[in-house]
Structure 1
């Protein structure tokens, strides 16, 4: 959905006051949540599920209104607004948080998680809490980890089968130093771009390819302009649902606890929707003519040492990586 400047200004102006009373229920607190993905996408539907949970458990005192499809802007913009309390809740990829909190680099590191189940076991426990805890210093309250699947490459002109196939290609990445370094280690030229610019960049040849999961590849219709999808599963960078500390602190303790529980309850629902959506998206892009190939990961993984050396420097981060690798 495209929002023209005047309409976006109205929306953002309305968001300056984080809470709005529902006229029908004077005591209802309405929290606004941002997402770049459209209605139907698992992260959007998970926050809607959370809204139903908190509204029911609070007796109608709290609800969440979701603004998807980049209605409130790209992640970089909405994240800043969330930190200042203009937006109450935000679903962002962990890469968007890397410049704020170094530990959030860890879940996106290449080939760190052995599987999605391994990622769940890690992030659902103390390690996940440890990684996200530093966000509170930046006025963000971490509420939940959502899945972002395994990310793979897709390209305009040819499939990727070996590291040499990436050499010299311009690959769109999320705006993050770690992702730039990762592409460099792969032999590609990283091109950071916001989500909304990727389709046209692929279409016009500004970039030769990008990387993402099946649902994003399908929902953003990138398969129309980059038909070669090469399964590398090089990163399982998760999504995080975060809340503005200003908005959180204005809730009484009882509602804070209910909100945290509702967010936690939304995680299995998100994962159920994610698995179904991943299967549907893969089938849809194949039906539309996308060509899928599976890469041998080992030659790519061998080149990732410089990325770990650059971004896993201090003892705390090295300890977290070790704990992840030791997790069964």
Structure 2
């Protein structure tokens, strides 16, 4: 090999290496939950899968425990193109995505399976379109369970059981109206104040998903857990449209596949967590009232009277009707 030939070969090798380095890319994913949380486990698995599917071209750099932003800040950063990917609760998107407000309507979904079917249909397309208008691509949804009521003095089995209850709620107009409509008094409190409020008698009831009911320790104070499943609002994984546009079609396909797979994985983890949580609560003295033991028709009949207040136009009405009709 002549000197000139060797130099040309070396330059070609350097150029190839430079190309490989340039193609390797970190995508930052922001998460507020700490290590060990189901969502963090899911995102770590997704990162490994993405590296495999993209043949090392894409790597997830997970920033959990709120290291970069809280959920509201993460959403604003996604919209501004200042963050690659974030896992956000749908509630944070409601101010920008009209369709999300409809999802918070009580008893809209008959079951989680019903919710997943709705999200996989026309309603999901509407959500995706609205998100894209605000600078985000919806990659997938994560389960966050269904919320049910838990009480200290008596179980909720019918509409009359709400009468006179003081129910802790999130600061949500829909929840305030729901509790009032059911004949109880809504009490807005920070989540970390709920246990003390139960002990002092400030509240008689609260609502949340089963894993939170147990992990918070509330099951030790409010032993009646009535599985009315009044709300099912998922988490969402979004990527900035600015970042998405810089990925090749093959990279987009790999990322979407890894995200979709992570959703299926997370749903199984969540389902297992629910079973374990309810079993623990029951073993330690909680009384679990199954949905089949609750006179749901009377409760739902009052709750749906709220729908007209939150449907702003005929399109919203058509959307809600389509959701209710989804098999």
TM-score range (shorter-chain normalised) is 0.7 to 0.9
Residues 1:32 and 2:26 are matched in the alignment: no
Matched pairs, number: 303
Asked if the contact 2:27/2:84 (under 8 Å) is kept, the reply is no
Specify whether residues 314 and 290 from structure 1 end up closer, same or farther in structure 2 by C-alpha distance, changes over 3 A only: same
Output the CA distance in 1 between the equivalents of 2:61 and 2:152: 37
Partner of 1:83: 79
Higher Rg? 2
TM-score, with length taken from structure 2:
0.80
Specify whether residues 204 and 249 from structure 1 end up closer, same or farther in structure 2 by C-alpha distance, changes over 3 A only: farther
User: Structure 1 unaligned runs (5+)?
Assistant: 1-24
Partner of 1:21: none
Match of 1:227 among 219, 223, 226: 223
Partner of 1:105: 101
Q: Counterparts in 2 of 1:121-136, with a 5 A limit?
A: 121-136=117-132
Question: What is the deviation of 1:310?
Answer: 0.9
Partner of 1:49: 45
Specify whether residues 59 and 48 from structure 1 end up closer, same or farther in structure 2 by C-alpha distance, changes over 3 A only: same
Output the CA distance in 2 between the equivalents of 1:89 and 1:127: 22
Instruction: Provide the secondary structure at the position in 1 that maps to 2:180.
Output: helix
Q: Give the stretch that moved more between structures: 244-253 or 222-231.
A: 244-253
Specify whether residues 240 and 185 from structure 1 end up closer, same or farther in structure 2 by C-alpha distance, changes over 3 A only: farther
Match of 1:240 among 231, 236, 239: 236
Specify whether residues 48 and 291 from structure 1 end up closer, same or farther in structure 2 by C-alpha distance, changes over 3 A only: same
TM-score, with length taken from structure 1:
0.79
Q: Counterparts in 2 of 1:1-328, with a 5 A limit?
A: 27-36=24-33, 39-41=36-38, 43-68=39-64, 74-193=70-189, 195=191, 198-199=194-195, 201-202=197-198, 207-294=203-290, 295-328=294-327
Asked if the contact 2:30/2:66 (under 8 Å) is kept, the reply is no
Question: What is the deviation of 1:103?
Answer: 0.8
Specify whether residues 257 and 131 from structure 1 end up closer, same or farther in structure 2 by C-alpha distance, changes over 3 A only: same
